A and B are shown apart, each in its own frame.
Chain A
Amino acid sequence: MGIEARERRQPWILLAPALTSVTLLLFVPLAFIVVYSFWLRTATGADQVGFYLDNWQEALGDPFYRDILFSTLRIAAITTVVCAVMGYPAAYFIARSRGNKAILLLMLMLPFWISYIIRTMSWINILGVSGALNWLLQTLGIINEPIQMLYNETTVILGLVHFLLPFMILNVYVALEGIDISLEDAACSLGSTRWQSFLEVTLPLSLPGLAAGGLLCFVLSAGTYITPLVLGGPRDAMFANLVFEAVITQLNWPLGSALSLMLLAILGGLVLIYNHFLGMGQLMKGLG
């Protein structure tokens, strides 16, 4: 075999284990649940193989599922906007700071590394009936009885923002770092105010980073079920909770398949739209 043929084959040998794993552990299982979603789970717990539309009718038609889908999208959208509003100035501060950027970034990454479940539950210490805020308010004499601030949609959003904010800041920061600072100076020297040069030069150039961060925040918050279980009340279930309920609690796997695929279609669709307009490059920059 010639050297060239070997050169050509080598990368495929290196890629084979990874590609095989992704195929067998992701793509084939996804194809399988597409098929599975048309089967029926009978009352006896056995699967009836066939082509039944029942699960899809239930997933798409039941107003219960539809309401939760809409509230999930609403929660994800609010979380994303809050992350952008909180994160953009912070990212701008780090990018334009004359201090030690590495330290500032590292400080931001520290909470990022701290376990998601710990960060989520940490809010119970602050907002719970015997938490810091209630204690403070009672000590100051503002309230007499502890008030229940936890277990509602607001605390779910709070937990999600706390979890996802570093993703947003990191992506915006990467975009801001890529902008030549002299562009802003040039705009200023040509007569625009600092604010104008920010609005007309910096902000538009950083939009890809904002979009990448926004996509991550939206997709990750719309797919969560842990945060609503820890910080939400019984009525704050999100769509992924329905999937968890169907698969783990009710053991109705065909229905769980259909619900999962619905979530995948919506969130995957968003990723595809994003990819079409902006490409994956920006997203990968922020992740790496």
Chain B
Amino acid sequence: MGWLLIRGWALLVYIFMFLPVAVVVMLSFNASQFGSFPMTGFSFHWFVELANNDAILRAFETSILLGSLTALVSTMLGVLASLALIRYRVPGSNLISTILIAPILVPEVVLAVALLLFLNALSLNKSFLLLLMGHVIFTMPFVILVVQARLVGIRRDYEEAAISLGAHPIQAFFQITLPLLAPAVFAGMLFAFTISFDDITGTLFWKPGGVETVPTQIFAMLRNSISPEINALGTVMIFLTVGLPLLGMAVARRMALQRGS
């Protein structure tokens, strides 16, 4: 009886989580002129509109470029730091961990203001570089958390075995450790990309005038009125942000399986 109640409650929670998203996807295929309820027919009309909207295409370009560079830089920084924390006995490693995680312990608005005003005082104005630095600093903690969690599972013995068999430490790293690390690195990069691609809180502070990422473009469009184009854009985003991590997980699992066999 109690279990039935819990089950029903959980079902309601799942519906609560999914319903609004399902409505976005549904409305994006709506044929009606205003794209609101009721559904009058099935149409790709709004996706065609979307594909012809230069502002949105530019926003996509910016977001993908920003996300990729962010993923690259923050994964590099994060993987190196995680290696140090997991593979070595570093004095004060607890404090160091806390320092490295600090960017997500500080409210993002505060981080955004501090970085913007500080770099502005150094005469570095709002720019793509500022956006990149901002995105790197708040995605890095997530990369470190993800990579550390996976690194713990990789034993150091393999590397040591290679070294004792005559490999140079650098050689051992690139030929033994890095391939073992690959799934963790991949997961970290994907995570960083997704977070960067989705960010709006910091981005609105850092972006130069005229530059829009996909979330800020959606935000700007919302200020006018909600058009079905937004729903179509939302549908594309949903498939991107859900599809990419799912793909990443599948690839990581595959790589792990291959190694295991």
Contact = CB atoms under 8 A, between A and B. Distances in A.
A139 to B, nearest CB: 8
A111 B118 contact: no
Interface residues of B, number: 88
Nearest to B22: A122
A210 B115 CA distance: 32
A126 B149 CA distance: 39
Given A11-B88, A260-B114, 6 more contacts: A14-B80, A33-B117, A89-B10, A90-B13, A115-B234, A135-B37
Main secondary structure of the interface of A (DSSP, over half): helix
Contacts of A56: none
Contact of A118 (B90, B145, B149, B238): B238
26 contacts: A11-B88, A18-B78, A25-B103, A29-B118, A32-B114, A32-B121, A111-B18, A113-B241, A115-B198, A116-B198, A118-B234, A122-B20, A126-B23, A135-B37, A139-B38, A219-B107, A223-B107, A226-B219, A229-B219, A247-B113, A253-B117, A253-B120, A260-B113, A264-B110, A268-B105, A288-B148
Contact of A248 (B119, B121, B205): B205
Given A15-B80, A194-B2, A114 B237 contact: yes
B140 interface: yes
A122 B234 contact: yes
Given A162-B17, A287-B145, A116 B24 contact: no
Interface of A: 7, 10-12, 14-15, 17-19, 21-22, 25-30, 32-33, 36, 86-87, 89-90, 92-94, 107-108, 110-111, 113-119, 121-126, 128, 130-132, 134-135, 139, 162, 165-166, 169, 194-195, 219, 222-226, 229-230, 240, 243-244, 247-248, 253, 256-257, 260-261, 263-264, 267-268, 271, 280, 284, 287-288
A271 B106 CA distance: 9
A52 to B, nearest CB: 16
B20 A123 contact: yes
A242 B38 CA distance: 38
A132 B23 contact: yes
A114 B241 CA distance: 6
Contacts, number: 252
B15 to A, nearest CB: 11
A116 B9 contact: no
B254 interface: no
A119 B21 contact: yes
Contacts of A131: 36-37
Contacts of B237: 114-115, 118
Contact of B113 (A12, A123, A243, A268): A243
A118 B218 CA distance: 8
A18 B218 contact: no
Contacts of A230: 219, 222
A240 B113 CA distance: 11
Nearest to A216: B104
B137 A22 contact: yes
A113 B194 CA distance: 8
A27 B98 CA distance: 13
B111 interface: yes
B215 interface: yes
B205 A287 contact: no
B151 to A, nearest CB: 11
Contact of A256 (B80, B117, B118, B226): B117
B148 A21 contact: no
B117 to A, nearest CB: 5
Given A125-B27, A244-B109, A19 B117 contact: no
Interface in B176-218: 194, 197-198, 200-201, 204-205, 214-215, 218
A288 B86 CA distance: 15
B165 interface: no
Contacts of A30: 106, 110, 114
A90 B9 contact: yes
Nearest to B214: A115
A17 B115 contact: no
A226 B200 contact: yes
B70 interface: no
A125 B25 CA distance: 11
Given A10-B88, A26-B103, A18 B81 contact: yes
B195 to A, nearest CB: 10
A280 B101 contact: yes
Interface string B90-104: 100000101111111
A223 B108 contact: yes
B142 A287 contact: yes
Contacts of B118: 28-29, 32-33
Given A118-B234, A122-B24, A223 B241 contact: no
Nearest to B241: A113
B42 interface: no
Contacts of A107: 14
A121 B149 CA distance: 34
